[in-house]
Chain A
Amino acid sequence: MKTYIRSSSCISPQKTFRNEDFLIDIVEYTGPRLSTIEPDYKEFIDPKLIRRMSHVIKMGVAAAKDCLNQAEVEMPGAIVTGTALGCLEDTVGFMTRMVEQNEELLNPTAFIQSTHNTVAAQVALMLKCHGYNNTFVHKGISFESALLDAIMLLREQEADSILVGGTEEMVDVSFRILTRLGLYRRWPTSNLELLSTEAKGSIGGEGAAFFPLTDKTSKDNLAELSAIKTLYNINDIEGGITKFLAENNLKPGDIDLVITGKNGDLKNDAVYKQLGSSIFKDSNISNYKHLSGEYSTSSSFALWMAANIIKKEIIPQTVIEKQIDNKSPKKVLIYNHYLHKYHSLMLVSAI
């Protein structure tokens, strides 16, 4: 059984949402925090509801609806999302008022929208979708866990169309705390030069990317999600990747394009560099975090990019790190790691 990506929708700090152009007109940021470019949410959400929705709910619902429209799926059989930190705006909002008002006269809206499953729930509510609904919240592999769930559901024949998404929002409080934890650059850096200037720290980002997955073949499918694997605390990542490829009857040389999770932080990027001079010495290499910023479910942006590279047969200039040949990629490997602890591998192929 194969898993196909029927369509994709991505809200990000770049012009990725409902844009015919594919990463051509790139938005430059000079600070360490990238915020999403907001679509007109009224097209997707009842204006009365918009006012009460936090940023991540709006992003998630709009991206979910948009990709379903593209794929002409009225009702998915299941909805599965991934988010590490969930609905931060509402969590922080409720907590702030709880402290400031000494636990008195609190409004429940922020609390009831603060649970991590709110995006998946709101999508279900809008579609009146009574099917399977799940949300994974495991750090840097939240989105990958959701994908694995969806692949298993297809294999189990529980549904033939499954909506999967990754979402994350950055709010002032999380940006401040993550800055104090040393995750971001201390000096102004253009995101366009992030990966060529070696320093400590990356840039923060946010976004939402959704995909209807199916086991049904169609010429309209974007790509095949051939395999996915997550590895925990592994020392020999080279061996881990080689084994993953072998499990899929591939060698490193069979990969037409490697998309890495390079984020501009010296320590973070060391492993990607090492792979670029070993197993992927002769491979085309691209990166994406200078466009999306770093966040726990940024691999959903990478999957959006990989599927579109395959479908459109174009590697956008802005993502290219190393170009060995000009063939249009048929086999793309996404390798991302989260603080060297969680490693995620996704294999995306032409249909």
Chain B
Amino acid sequence: MRLLNIMSSSVYIAGVGVISGIGNNVAEHLRAFEQGQAGMGAITMLNTIHQGELPVAEVKLSNDELVAMTGLPPNTSRTALLSLVAAHEALNDAAIPDFKSLRTGFVSANTVGGMDKSEGFFVDFLADNNKGKLRNIFDHECGSKTEIVADKLGISDYMTTINTACSSSANAIFYGARLIKNDLLDVVIAGGTDALTKFTLNGFNTLMILDKQFCKPFDEHREGLNLGEGAGYLVLVSEKVAQTLTKPVYCKLSGYNNSNDAYHQTASSPDGTGSYLAMKGALEKSGLKPSDIDYINLHGTGTPNNDSAEGTAVKRLFDPNYPPMSSTKSFTGHTLGASGGIEAVFSVLAIKHGIIYPNLRFETRMSELPFEPETKFQKGQHINNVMSNSFGFGGNCTSLIFSRA
């Protein structure tokens, strides 16, 4: 009886919130997409030797401005500041009646916690182990960022943090949905956040996968990714809560799967085994066929390796009928632990407004692929099912499917 319930109950999306290099809220994002405005530019906020050399997609608000917007203490990590802006927008958007009386949870992802503060601390600490302000390190943990935001949102029934590198927040979203399906919670705000840090910038730079120009996902001549920052959250609700809402839900989360490539710590297997299994598993979970998918929001980082593996996996699953697809990282850059959450918001908005997002700067089809991404912004399309891909270090591959409710 109980198992049947788990299998059959649906989880709906009642609210969305997002902040990234192309906007501070949902409305600004929709405008940027329509105008083809990418968020990349020169580094202005990190004190790094790579300034002027590597483009990044910064959120166009200083920490002071974010502090003023959120009401968090001045020294708060940018990771938590970005998280609160987007999570707050999502919760307001959902406008759930009687929120306080429900069993609520916050499941958030991030990859380097309070690293933006810790790396400052570390410079002083390395010079003298008795130096370095402890207030810049004591909440370094990934979980601290989640806790700061949950406290501010008034969520205390359940919270946790996931870190599976660049697939983190896609995993947070479907973990949140499962908490509802298992009848442990009624409402979960789920997604992720990551701020730009010197640590990640230098890390990706050592891997030689950062493009010195604006990235060109799924292009034959792509040269790497641009890092970005931001946060994106969905408000997930049970069927019961969905019925109490005063406006229609956006859609439902119909499918999800987390599979591991088990090939290499950072590189994807040539045939995209993990990505293929994740997409295939999500389709099976949703009960849909490949031909039912109306749009794919690709992981599409712009690195030679990712796009080749992901493209091969798409080919294995969808050939010969390819749905429209694109990488919105051509707008936001790769926001790492936030990307799954941010792109889930875009996927949900695609269903609501019938949007196909353009893949900016695409010129030449990849030689090994029989398809190419969409390059024109389209709206008012009839979109029933959207697939969103998020893959990360450690072979972690996750696909989500959102469907018209």
Binding site for B on A (CB under 8 A): 1, 79, 84-86, 94-96, 98-100, 102-104, 106-108, 111-118, 120-122, 124-125, 127-139, 141-142, 145, 149, 152, 155-157, 173, 176-177, 180-181, 230, 232-233
Contacts and interface: CB of A to CB of B under 8 A. Distances in A.
B258 A132 contact: yes
A116 B105 CA distance: 22
A79 B394 CA distance: 12
Given A84-B141, A115-B163, A133 B202 contact: no
Size category of the B interface is 35 or more
Given A121-B394, A139-B144, 6 more contacts: A115-B163, A116-B142, A130-B259, A138-B143, A139-B143, A152-B178
B162 A134 contact: yes
A322 to B, nearest CB: 32
B27 interface: no
22 contacts: A95-B119, A96-B126, A103-B202, A106-B205, A107-B206, A114-B203, A115-B111, A115-B163, A115-B393, A115-B394, A120-B394, A121-B393, A137-B142, A137-B162, A139-B141, A156-B3, A156-B6, A156-B7, A156-B178, A156-B181, A173-B125, A180-B130
Contact of B206 (A106, A139, A141): A106
Given A95-B119, A138-B142, A138-B143, A117 B206 contact: no
B198 A103 contact: yes
B163 A152 contact: no
Given A85-B141, A115-B165, A130-B277, A108 B6 contact: no
Interface string B137-158: 1101111101100000000111
A104 B49 contact: yes
B394 A133 contact: yes
Given A138-B159, A180-B134, A102 B49 contact: yes
Contacts of B205: 106
B394 A137 contact: no
Interface string B246-288: 0000000000001111111110000001100100000000000
A173 B125 CA distance: 9
Nearest to B267: A112
Interface of B: 2-3, 6-7, 48-50, 111, 113, 118-119, 122-123, 125-126, 129-130, 134, 137-138, 140-144, 146-147, 156-165, 171, 175, 178-179, 181-182, 198-199, 202-203, 205-207, 258-266, 273-274, 277, 392-396
Nearest to B393: A115
Contacts of B134: 177, 180-181
B48 A121 contact: no
A136 B161 CA distance: 6
Contacts of B277: 130
Given A121-B393, A137-B142, A103 B50 contact: yes
B7 to A, nearest CB: 8
A320 B134 CA distance: 37
A133 B273 contact: no
